[in-house]
Amino acid sequence: MNITRVLIANRGEIAVRINQACRKLGLATVQVHSSADADSLAVRLADHAVEIGPPPAAKSYLNIAAIIDAARASGADAVHPGYGFLAENGEFADAVTAAGLAFIGPSGDAIRLLGDKVAARQVAANAGVPTVPGSTARLTDVDAGLGLAARIGYPVMIKAAAGGGGRGIRVVADAEEFARQFPQASAEALAAFGDGGLYVEKMIARARHVEVQVLGDGQRWIHCFERECSLQRRRQKVWEEAPALCLTAEVRAAMCTAAVKLAAQVKYSGAGTVEFLYDEASGEFYFIEVNTRIQVEHPVTEMITGLDLVAEMIRVAGGERLSIEQDDVEIRGHAIECRINAENPAKNFLPQPGTVSALQVPVADDVRFDTMLFEGYKVPPFYDSLLGKLIVHGDSRAACLARLREVLTLLRIEGLATTIPLHTALAADPQVAAGEFDTRFLERWLAGRSL
């Protein structure tokens, strides 16, 4: 492998995770950090640390020039971007490569192509991967919209072309409502986004979020099965599982094959995730987007397959071929990950930075806790609220849930409010135990109770 020293361009638990993968591969590490993270676990674990700016991410973890300078000065020959920050920034990938370093991820071109929603949808269509039925371009007028909606079938969503993050969406049940809502939606989009352009998509009423992990080396592509991440709050995943029990063996095979085809279509290199909406009622799945990075929830895949996804992406970036064949990847049992955030579930998930006064982490072969916490650590307020990820494995989903209930009582983080009570309640819920949920389940569930 032509990599010896990896610069970790991230922070928190994922920086710790990348450091661990580098150690396993015998690579030296350079940790860049903001002034707020000088005392972090990631900095303590690294061979070498470089401060790259003040606390705001825009001036540190998003500062491409400072990170490239740190890489040069420290003799790093590769950069791992983690997730978030610059992980899906094509210009960053290009800058790393231009500096003569290996970017641990796909090319800048692949990141840009797959990061553009319309272009990615086209890539999926070209690879024969089903996309959510809807517009291929902006609607010119209400009649064009009515015609399209009739073809794809009601209910449909009228979406603002310039919207995003769930804003600018109206759900309409029939043609009459469509005709009434269309001009209002256009006026509202113009007022909210300065652009009245609209498009239409089929509404999938009870969608589940299922995503396929793929690995590629630019010449060969494999999948590592799927994860289900339907339990979300404000479109943020809070609980993930592998495999997705809602899939039949046939649907699983079709979805995983589709994801591999999509990766092959762009000659993907590294670890990536192809996200789908799964309509349980019809058994159909639809491409949503590709995440061109390691994901927060990658450990559930590692727990059921025994693979080290982070090590694999580093090896590929170092010029090696994938170390495994598709037939080597098998599902063994079930895994669940709970995201432990510094948020107070009793106060509408208000973020609560603070100092960890005591920490007790269960240690066992079927338990993993990916975290940057240590006793005495002061959680800074400048970044996201993720403190750690508790991952539990079981031979079956029922066994995994039973073990999770037990392990949640053994994990203690004192000194600040966390989302452990949320997970304790979810793990005890009969509907969760039955696997009966969709992407809207958690918000409905939260509306009816106090934690």
Partner 1 sequence: MSIERVLSPLPGTFYRRPAPDQPPFKADGADVAVGDVLGLVEVMKNFQEVTAEVAGRGIRFLVEDGEAIDAEQVLAELEV
How far apart are the C-alpha atoms of 423 and 415, rounded to whole Å? 18
Question: Active site includes 112?
Answer: no
Complex with partner 1: residue 89 or 323, whichever CB lies closer:
89
Task: Give the contacts of 20 (CB within 8 A, at least 6 positions apart).
Answer: 310
Instruction: Choose the binding region for partner 1 from 183-191, 209-217, 263-271, 346-354 (rule: CB under 8 A).
Output: 346-354
CA 79 to chain centre: 20
Geometric angle at alpha carbon 185, from 184 and 188, rounded to 5°: 85
Task: Give the contacts of 363 (CB within 8 A, at least 6 positions apart).
Answer: none
Set 121, 293, 368, 403: catalytic member: 293
Instruction: Choose the binding region for partner 1 from 54-62, 179-187, 273-281, 367-375 (rule: CB under 8 A).
Output: 54-62
Q: Does 131 bind partner 1 (CB under 8 A)?
A: no
Interaction with partner 1 in 395-434: which residues (CB under 8 A)?
Answer: none
Phi, psi of 437 (to 5 degrees): -150, 160
Q: Does 445 bind partner 1 (CB under 8 A)?
A: no
How far apart are the C-alpha atoms of 55 and 286, rounded to whole Å? 39
Residue whose C-alpha is closest to residue 339's, from 383, 385, 402:
385
Complex with partner 1: residue 283 or 381, whichever CB lies closer:
381
Instruction: Choose the binding region for partner 1 from 25-33, 110-118, 375-383, 441-449 (rule: CB under 8 A).
Output: 375-383
How far apart are the C-alpha atoms of 380 and 389, rounded to whole Å? 18
Instruction: Choose the binding region for partner 1 from 176-184, 211-219, 379-387, 431-439 (rule: CB under 8 A).
Output: 379-387
Q: How many residues bind partner 1 (CB under 8 A)?
A: 15
Residue whose C-alpha is closest to residue 39's, from 49, 29, 52:
49
The Cα-based distances of 75 to 43, 47, 94, 308, 332 in angstroms read: 17, 12, 18, 26, 40
Residues 353, 409, 428, 444: which binds partner 1 (CB under 8 A)? 353
Q: Does 344 bind partner 1 (CB under 8 A)?
A: no
Cβ of residue 126: shortest distance to partner 1, in angstroms?
Answer: 35
Q: Does 51 bind partner 1 (CB under 8 A)?
A: no
Residues 346, 381, 396, 414: which binds partner 1 (CB under 8 A)? 381
Please say whether the dihedral angle defined by the alpha carbons of residues 175, 179, 180 and 186, taken in this order, is positive or negative: positive
Residues 54, 130, 218, 333: which binds partner 1 (CB under 8 A)? 54
Residues 23, 44, 51, 55: which binds partner 1 (CB under 8 A)? 55
Q: What x/- string results for residues 22 through 41 when contact with partner 1 is judged by CB under 8 A?
A: --------------x-----
Residues 333, 382, 399, 446: which binds partner 1 (CB under 8 A)? 382
Complex with partner 1: residue 74 or 385, whichever CB lies closer:
385
Complex with partner 1: residue 380 or 421, whichever CB lies closer:
380
**DSSP H/E element including 41:** helix 41-45
Residue whose C-alpha is closest to residue 63's, from 39, 82, 85:
85
* Residue 421 burial (10 A CB sphere; 0-12, 13-18, 19+): middle
Complex with partner 1: residue 83 or 154, whichever CB lies closer:
83
Cβ of residue 341: shortest distance to partner 1, in angstroms?
Answer: 8
Residues 61, 383, 437, 441: which binds partner 1 (CB under 8 A)? 383
Alpha helices for 153-275 (secondary structure H):
175-193, 249-265
SS (H, E, C) 399-446: HHHHHHHHHHHHCEEECCCCCHHHHHHHHCCHHHHHCCCCCCHHHHHH
Cβ of residue 382: shortest distance to partner 1, in angstroms?
Answer: 6
State the catalytic residues.
293
Binding residues for partner 1, rule: CB under 8 A, are 36, 54-56, 342-343, 350-351, 353, 380-385
